[in-house]
Chains A and B, each alone.
Chain A
Amino acid sequence: MKKALNVLLVFLLAFAVFAGGQQEADQGAAAEEATEESAEDSKYGGVLVFGRGGDSVGLDPARETDGESFYGSTQIFDNLVEFKNGTTEIQPALAKSWDISDDSLTFTFHLVEDATFHDGTPFNAEAVVFSLGRQLWEDHPYYDLGPWKYWGYMDMSNIVKDIVAVDEYTVRFELQKVEAPFLANLAMDFAAMVSPAAVEKYGSDFPSNPVGTGPFKFVSWKKDDHIVLERNEDYWRRPAYLDRLILKVIPDATARYLALQKGEIDVMDFPSPEDIADMKADPDIKVIQQPGLNVGYLAMNCEKEPFDDVRVRKAFNYAINKEEIIAGVFGDAGTTAKNPIPPTMWSYNEDIDPYPYNPEKAKELLAEAGYADGFKTDLWAMPVARPYFPDGRKVAEIMQAQLKEIGVEAEIVSYEWGTYLEGTDNGKHQTALLGWTGDNGDPDNFLFVLLSIPAAEVPAGNIAFWKDKEFNDLVVEAKSTFDRDKRTELYKEAQEVFHEEAPWVPVAHSVVSEPMQPYVMNFKLSPVGKRVFYSVWLDK
């Protein structure tokens, strides 16, 4: 049975390669991977328990915004396109191919024809229109099941004009403007294909009764305890290897580590930074690491004195010793930043020379700017732990000591998280710590959202309130072309402008570590923060 399925799969993939000549996705490698995998039936079987820090909020990925929710929904749902496992590259999924019109305003997707939702509903163009239409049209009968937060975050209502089912297996997107990250957005969790029949049946209970086309079917969910998923035998691709996948909540990182040592869980999410060295030294534990798609930074408010002076901003870049912050706060779980985008992202500018730690140089720059005796400033410290700053307060304290060396007296202020974000959005700070975690693997998701001129409007994403026309022109132009080489060039240039004008001190990118049992095979960390178990198998 499985062999037959595998043969079918190879055939399908081969078909996809011939049919999908229009786009530049990495199908060759996908087909290769599939053939290699089809050779082995021995990979099938077993139950994997994934120990994680928190429960999913809901399992309708269009409604949720947190990673813990996506850990569950990613296994249950498929998208039109997807991130190639472990990368930010886009590859075909439920859309086997697509055509883009000459003006880049019309996308026509050709769908796979043998996919079925877990409840037996066939997957077709109507399902695509339903899944995304409920988020787009305010008069859609299921629009009120939102809020569709991520649809809003990605500004989709200002990108998509219309979604039309052309025939059973063809769907056309008409866009309002040329938006290069559009395709990457469709690979994000919120753009998952949901069963229209199941949404009609469950209504507001759909998030706890999810039905998709994905490799795993939803079985049960005990709130704050565990979610059980099982293999979808009728998957439209090679079925998943695991019989069952259990997502188990163990809130405390130390208790999670103990459960891993005892073998109660197979993969552990989010270890405490101080345990990672021990885990790496333990022969019974395998640790996989990858830099996260995030950046933690100190934003200097360019609309307020003295940070309107580029010399002062540069002085801060020289004065802050990032190594010390990494050692003191991140341990084995962080790496220093020099650009506003993380190194795993395409177009990352390797050629930028980071500002070295040099307090003397910083003092010189301050003197030039007329602050030979230093000055006083506030320094906003985040009250919560985020991936990009596990301890905002501690980062601020280290910075405070370093700034003192150059005569700057920084007063640390902190507010409750909601008030904090409201304050930074409205530019109440002089300097503030904040960060960003990428969503769609596109540099636009950092450079435009965090540093462009439109983003400096309150409530601002650009909390440095840095309005640089040269930079802005580059990132706006990069948004409007689908030519990847051209975009890479533009983004690299934009990073140079950023470096010269120094609106931030880019501090750190966190490193994601995933400890697991040595018999867990083919687990890949995803730069966009997903945990995909489709191709994972157990060697025991």
Chain B
Amino acid sequence: MGNRGHAVSVSFVQRDNGLQMLKYLLKRLSLLIPTLIGVATLVFAMVALSPGDPARVMLGERATKAQLEKIRAEMGLDRPLIEQYGIYMKNMVQLDFGESIKTGRKVMDEIKELYPATIELAFFAMLFATIVGIIIGVLSATRRNTWIDYTSMVGALVGVSLPVFWLALVLIMIFSVGFDLLPTGGRINIRYYFEPMTNFYVIDSIIYLFREGDPKFLTSVLRHIILPAIALGTIPLAIIARVTRSSMLEVLKQDYIKTARSAGILENRVVYRYALKNALLPVITIIGIQFGLLLSGAILTETIFAWPGIGKWLYKAIEARDYPAVQGGVMVIATTFVLINLVVDILYSLVNPKIRLQ
């Protein structure tokens, strides 16, 4: 009987939880729209206020007056700013970023081709950083003030301070050229005839594996992603390790841990089951922020590893004053960032129900 009553009360709490969760989700989603409008306006203002005539930059040393005027008219630069803003916002709402001035192709098409590469790289970098970072963090917290702790924390300090391009080149020199283990760059051996479908090469090559039974594409794709993921994941790894460590130390001091220990529960169980779960709260936040940062911050890694992603593309678009491309690229990254934050908040509220009540 007692058991039954318990079950009933749990299901009641869960239903209540579900309702609260839904309300919370709606609240978060409704905040999304003003945030994105704000971002779009900011992007427009940044572009409008930046120095230099985009037409002049585009045409270079050889521009003639007539050509300049023609380009300005085509880009709408000769119209009043407020009108430009109106047209811009209207297009943004329709997710129409227009055509790249430089290539004449639809900005959305170029983003569809390049953004998956960046997301894939950032995902594997974060996977590496999260797994290794949490392990190192927990190890150094549970073995505080031992050589493991000292080595890990010095390593983490070095990790955040290493210039990414330098680390990337050293990795190539050691593992590609030196030991001849891994390729120097790119996403797949380009001598293969590989036709991607989703542009997420890991997914595409798995589809190939199932369809044709040939693992060579998947092998090649995974071999290509290892070094860039390590190079890109090093800084988040160091940060995650440090946050995990301090958060773990905090939690391990709590009374309920002492209680658990005094109750004779195995140390491993105490650490991984009770302490780590609570210690992960700040770590989740950090993972979310770092993942967002990697999307736009992968430029150096993308450059060195010849990784055709959005970071380098966006950098070049800014350099060329390719307004539609800059606006489209920043909007897509900002939207992803906001979405990741949403996911982090939801995860957070799942782990810690108190959040939802606030």
Give A residues with C-beta under 8 Å from B: 47, 49, 57-58, 63, 65, 145, 147, 149, 152-153, 204-205, 207-208, 220, 222-226, 228, 246, 248-252, 254-255, 258-259, 261-262, 264, 416-419, 421-422, 434, 436, 459, 461
Residue of A nearest to B65 (CB): A459
Pair B67/A152 contact, Cβ less than 8 Å:
yes
- Nearest-CB distance from A67 to chain B (Å)? 12
Residue B304 contacts which of A248, A255, A416, A417 (CB distance < 8 angstroms)? Answer: A255
**B309 to chain A: which residues have CB within 8 Å?**
224
Most chain B Cβ neighbours within 10 Å, of A49, A226, A228: A226
Pair A255/B177 contact, Cβ less than 8 Å:
no
Q: List 23 A-B contacts (CB under 8 A).
A: A63-B104, A65-B60, A149-B59, A152-B67, A153-B62, A204-B104, A205-B105, A207-B104, A222-B308, A224-B114, A224-B308, A225-B308, A226-B186, A228-B190, A246-B191, A252-B303, A254-B169, A255-B184, A262-B183, A418-B54, A421-B60, A422-B56, A434-B61
**B308 to chain A: which residues have CB within 8 Å?**
222-225, 249
Pair A419/B52 contact, Cβ less than 8 Å:
yes
Give B residues with C-beta under 8 Å from A: 51-54, 56-57, 59-67, 70-71, 74, 99, 102-105, 110, 113-114, 165, 168-169, 172-173, 176-177, 180, 183-187, 190-191, 195-196, 303-306, 308-309, 312-313, 321
Top 8 A-B pairs ranked by shortest CB distance? Answer: A418-B52, A224-B308, A418-B57, A225-B308, A418-B56, A250-B306, A153-B62, A416-B52
**B313 to chain A: which residues have CB within 8 Å?**
223-224
A421 to B104, CA, bound (A): 24
- Nearest-CB distance from A146 to chain B (Å)? 9
A248 to B312, CA, bound (A): 16
Residue of B nearest to A222 (CB): B308
**B62 to chain A: which residues have CB within 8 Å?**
65, 149, 153, 461
Pair B172/A418 contact, Cβ less than 8 Å:
no
Residue of A nearest to B102 (CB): A57
Residue of A nearest to B105 (CB): A208
- Nearest-CB distance from B176 to chain A (Å)? 6
**B51 to chain A: which residues have CB within 8 Å?**
416, 419
**B74 to chain A: which residues have CB within 8 Å?**
147
**B186 to chain A: which residues have CB within 8 Å?**
225-226, 248, 250
Interface of A is mostly: mixed
A461 to B63, CA, bound (A): 9
A209 to B54, CA, bound (A): 27
Residue B176 contacts which of A153, A220, A249, A258 (CB distance < 8 angstroms)? Answer: A258
Q: A49-B190, A416-B52 are in contact. Are A259 and B185 (CB under 8 A)?
A: yes
Pair B114/A223 contact, Cβ less than 8 Å:
yes
**A250 to chain B: which residues have CB within 8 Å?**
185-186, 306
**A153 to chain B: which residues have CB within 8 Å?**
62, 64
Pair B303/A207 contact, Cβ less than 8 Å:
no
Pair A417/B57 contact, Cβ less than 8 Å:
yes
Residue of B nearest to A439 (CB): B62
Pair B173/A258 contact, Cβ less than 8 Å:
yes
A149 to B71, CA, bound (A): 10
Q: A57-B102, A224-B114 are in contact. Are A47 and B306 (CB under 8 A)?
A: no
Q: A149-B67, A250-B306 are in contact. Are A258 and B184 (CB under 8 A)?
A: yes
- Nearest-CB distance from B242 to chain A (Å)? 30
A255 to B62, CA, bound (A): 32
**A205 to chain B: which residues have CB within 8 Å?**
105
Q: A207-B103, A225-B186, A262-B184 are in contact. Are A418 and B321 (CB under 8 A)?
A: yes
**B99 to chain A: which residues have CB within 8 Å?**
204
Most chain B Cβ neighbours within 10 Å, of A63, A251, A459: A251
Excluding A251-B306, A259-B184, A434-B61, 7 further A-B contacts by CB distance (< 8 Å) are A147-B67, A153-B64, A222-B308, A249-B308, A250-B185, A416-B51, A422-B56
